[in-house]
Amino acid sequence: METTGASRPPLAGIRVLDLTRLLPGPVCTLHLADLGAEVLKIEDTGLGDYAAPALRAMVQRNKKGMRLDLKQADGVALLHRLAESADVLVEGFRPGVMDRLGVGYAALSAANPRLVYCSITGFGQTGPYRDEPGHDLNYCALSGVSDQIGRDDAGPALSNLPIADLLGGSMNAVMGILAALFDAARTGTGRHVDISMADGVLAHALVPLVTLATQGATRRAGLDKLSGALPCYAMYRTQDGRHLSVGALEHKFWERFCDVLGRPDLKPMHMPPDRATAERVRADVAALIEARPLAYWADVFHGRQCCVTPVLRLEEALAHENFIARGMVHPRATEGSAPQLACPVKMTGFEFSIERPAPSPGQDTDEVLTALGHDEAARADLRRRGVVG
């Protein structure tokens, strides 16, 4: 896909106030910033966003930075001023905190009815768990998703890709914000977008839900159709201790896979009639694949169109020809720095770019205050009193 003419970021002109920390909220506003929104990251004057420096470099790019103390009246007044001209505010505090500070949705939307105000929490703004703390594994556990990840004999597995934080939190927040922005453009009225990470991951537990609906119960981890029950959809160990992913879920792909393996006799066993037969087929396939190293199989299956790919390590994925061709590894990344992954949204008329690196805490405070009409003396006074940093 190629752009024609100058790049036109689709969210150019949208102003976002980002009061979030760590991962779910910052990744949400990262996507908005990468698509052209003007994002101001607002941190408190104390600890601020305590994400690791490498994570900060990745998720705070294309944003400006300000430090603001919302426990002081003047800090609250400054946020009100900023919200008057903003399109979006994103926060990730526990329910009720922003209201107690005087910067909740009701207070800010009174002055700016068009404001889209997004709150990202573990369990949402309502319900008996609204005040409970939690992390990604808690949200996945309570939603029934952890029970479906891993193997029955080993127990639930932990993922290094935080499913609830990113799928349940970040991406649902982006969806809600964009929908509310679209409506605000038509009606002039914004909305309070209430994102629960637990809700978000539960809403995508579709495959085990189908099993529940058709079988009356979910299968144990590793025993459902897409989690290990089928030899045609599984991970196989190679000679060098690596793994090959086989996703020959459709019969035509399984037939090609069997031809490449030299085992046409396995073609009728695409969907084995029982578990014992499935395990026999799996054992036959496993023995064949374990006889050769991963590089051999990657070469043999390349271009054979049977849904077989090597299980790459992240550093290998970053160097893979397809991701390079798609521009997913941004060339701005320098040796020794955290890799920068590009925006995954490709569209005509828009060319993603990194316009600015992640700001240091409060890097653009003076610029923001100047735009609000504060002269040098006023800025110095606010800084002296710890209202800004």
Active site residues: 135, 165
Please name the residue that has the structure tokens 């603001």: 68
Query: How many angstroms separate the CA atoms of 344 and 351, rounded?
Result: 11
Each as own residue / partner, the long-range contacts of residues 140-145 (CB below 8 Å, 24 or more positions apart, any chain) are 140/164, 140/201, 142/198, 143/198, 143/201, 143/202, 143/205, 144/202, 144/205, 144/208, 144/218, 145/201, 145/202, 145/205
Beta bridge partners of 324: none
Query: How many angstroms separate the CA atoms of 292 and 236, rounded?
Result: 11
Query: How many angstroms separate the CA atoms of 364 and 153, rounded?
Result: 53
Kindly tell me the burial class for residue 387, based on how many C-beta atoms sit within 10 Å of its own C-beta (0-12, 13-18, 19 or more): buried
For every residue of 45-106, DSSP letters joined together read SSS-----HHHHHHHSTTEEEEEB-TTSHHHHHHHHHHHHT-SEEEE-SPTTHHHHHT-SHH
Edge-first strand listing for the sheet containing 308-310? 233-237, 243-247, 308-310
Please name the residue that has the structure tokens 């556990």: 141
What the block records as the tokens of 289 is: 């694949």
**Which residues 6+ apart lie within 8 Å of 134 measured at CB?**
122, 123, 142, 198
What the block records as the tokens of 89 is: 């505010």
The bridge status of strand 38-43 relative to strand 15-18 is: parallel
**Which residues 6+ apart lie within 8 Å of 367 measured at CB?**
64
Q: How many CB atoms lie within 10 A of CB 162?
A: 23
What the block records as the tokens of 120 is: 């990202």
Q: How many CB atoms lie within 10 A of CB 333?
A: 17
